[in-house]
Amino acid sequence: MLYQLYETQRALLSPFAEFASASAKLYSHPMSPFTHTIGADRVAAGFDLMHRLSKEYEKPAFDITSVQVNGVDVAVQEQVAVSKPFCRLLRFKRFTDEAKLLPKMKAQPTVLVVAPLSGHHATLLRDTVRMLLRDHKVYITDWVDARMVPLDAGPFHLDDYVGYVEEFIRHIGPHVHVISVCQPTVPVFAAISLMASRGEATPRTMTMMGGPIDARKSPTAVNNLAMNKSYEWFENNVIYRVPPNYPGAGRRVYPGFLQHTGFVAMNPDRHLSSHYDYFLDLVRGDDDSADSHRKFYDEYNAVLDMPAEYYLDTIKTVFQDFALVNGTWRVRGELVRPQDIKTTALLTVEGELDDISGAGQTRVAHDLCTGIPKKEQPHYMVEGAGHYGIFSGRRWREKVYPVVRDFIARHEK
């Protein structure tokens, strides 16, 4: 019922959002007579803010059309390498007419970025991909909004997530370097462990960034909620069926709008201040700051529904049973044994101020990988970085990326 009420509210707000957008333009367009009235700048800013607070946010595009490789601009084309019901494996194919650069690009390492399935779209890692493309061939998992997946596609469990990662690694080949950001550190760890246990070729490296491998270490507010509420509480309070106006009608999901409410509730003062600053930037005519706000919230406010089975499996396996670190996790009957990984180097990255996955939660991976030589297990703590800072923004570009790039390069041959 809650999902239906939300959809009703969204439908009712839609015309008001359009009205606010039109009114903002009426009081800000240079050709409009209203623009030259007293207080027009504040009226326009108020309507613009109203529009952004009431509009619906669609999935953003990666919008990566070119990057610099060795100082040369090369074209980038987004391609679908593998299409599954709940995920698309995207490849960012680079093109150049520079004869000398082409063989260098072909010889560069191949990276698979496993994006989180935890509320936001994979485009949240746009900055991650853009930097990696400078020195690598890049693939990324683009998870599908569960409300868009027809019911006849079947359920999607955490085990299925692990299976998808295994399939994508096999598709790309064992020469791949895998980077997992936040939530997927756990299923990626499982996928590579299972492949190693079976004697399959495993990736050359795995880089795990800010993930809850052991959420008992420096638990955050997110971890505490997952650990202190019962499995039944989550099933009864956050799981709803998709309404009839979507392809996935009837599918049980953890709705994106509930997740977004939780994101905002973690730092309400920060968001309130940000929106007020946006209003002031519009009044002052600071277009650069206003545009930065729009870009951030266009991404932050775009959320997807998660399959209920996957979400509840994650709560139980990762945050309540701690099955990975306790050595009790079975995926389709196979025991997950990280100690069987021997030929894949491991890099862990944590943010000093991470309020999603606390310090130490990712680093514990080193204690589990007893089969990997210690010299092949570096750890990097990013001073002053929060959760998003380890994969996006200035700290990612200037501090983290060089470490990840050099780690991959050392293990490419």
Tell me: do 185 and 126 sit in the same domain: yes
Tell me: do 309 and 290 sit in the same domain: no
At residue 7, the pLDDT reads 74
Tell me: do 27 and 86 sit in the same domain: no
Give the chain's mean pLDDT: 91
Among 298, 317, 350, the domain-final residue is 298
At residue 223, the pLDDT reads 82
Residues 6+ apart with CB under 8 A from 165: 114, 141, 184, 187, 188, 191
251 in a structural domain: no
Tell me: do 386 and 327 sit in the same domain: yes
Tell me: do 88 and 174 sit in the same domain: yes
Which residues partner with 72 through β-bridges? 69
CA atoms within 13 A on the CB side of 50: 19
* 56, 14 Cβ separation under 8 angstroms: yes
Long-range contacts from 321-329, C-beta under 8 angstroms, 24+ separation:
322/214, 322/215, 322/216, 324/186, 324/189, 324/190, 324/213, 324/214, 324/368, 325/213, 325/214, 325/364, 325/368, 329/190
290 in a structural domain: yes
Could you identify the residue written with the tokens 């009081």? 27
Tell me: do 203 and 346 sit in the same domain: yes
245 in a structural domain: no
126 pLDDT band, cuts 50/70/90, is: very high
Tokens of 341: 């990984």
61 in a structural domain: no
Query: In this predicted model, what pLDDT tens digit does every residue of 90-108 receive, in sequence order?
Result: 999 999 988 889 999 999 9
Interhelix angle 287-300/268-284, nearest 10 degrees = 140
Domain of 153, CATH number, reads 3.40.50.1820
224 or 411: which leads in pLDDT:
411
Asked whether the predicted pLDDT for residue 14 surpasses 90, the reply is no
Tell me: do 38 and 129 sit in the same domain: no
At residue 294, the pLDDT reads 85
At residue 383, the pLDDT reads 93
Tell me: do 262 and 126 sit in the same domain: no
Could you identify the residue written with the tokens 């979507």? 246
- Pick the most confident of 70-74, 207-211, 216-220: 207-211
382 in a structural domain: yes
Angle value at C-alpha 203, between 116 and 145, nearest 5 degrees:
20
Average the pLDDT over 299-303 and give the result.
Answer: 84
Asked whether the predicted pLDDT for residue 168 surpasses 90, the reply is yes
Query: In this predicted model, what pLDDT tens digit does every residue of 253-298 receive, in sequence order?
Result: 999 888 877 777 777 888 888 888 888 888 888 888 888 888 888 8
Q: What's the rounded Cα separation, in Å, for the pair 3 and 241?
A: 7
246 in a structural domain: no
- Say whether pTM exceeds 0.75: yes
DSSP percent split of the chain into helix, strand, coil, nearest 5: 50, 15, 35
322 in a structural domain: yes
Domain count, the chain: 2
Tell me: do 81 and 45 sit in the same domain: no
Tell me: do 27 and 161 sit in the same domain: no
Query: In this predicted model, what pLDDT tens digit does every residue of 44-81 receive, in sequence order?
Result: 888 888 888 888 878 889 999 999 999 999 999 999 99
Tell me: do 230 and 100 sit in the same domain: yes
Residue 280's domain comprises 2-56+256-298
Asked whether the predicted pLDDT for residue 1 surpasses 80, the reply is no
Tokens of 379: 């750890």
Instruction: Please name which of 222, 173, 229, 169 lies closest in space to residue 193, comparing C-alpha atoms.
Output: 169
Report the phi/psi class of residue 72: left, alpha or beta, with left for phi > 0 and alpha for psi in -120 to 50: beta
Among 298, 320, 349, the domain-final residue is 298
Tell me: do 147 and 270 sit in the same domain: no
222 in a structural domain: yes
* 292, 48 Cβ separation under 8 angstroms: no
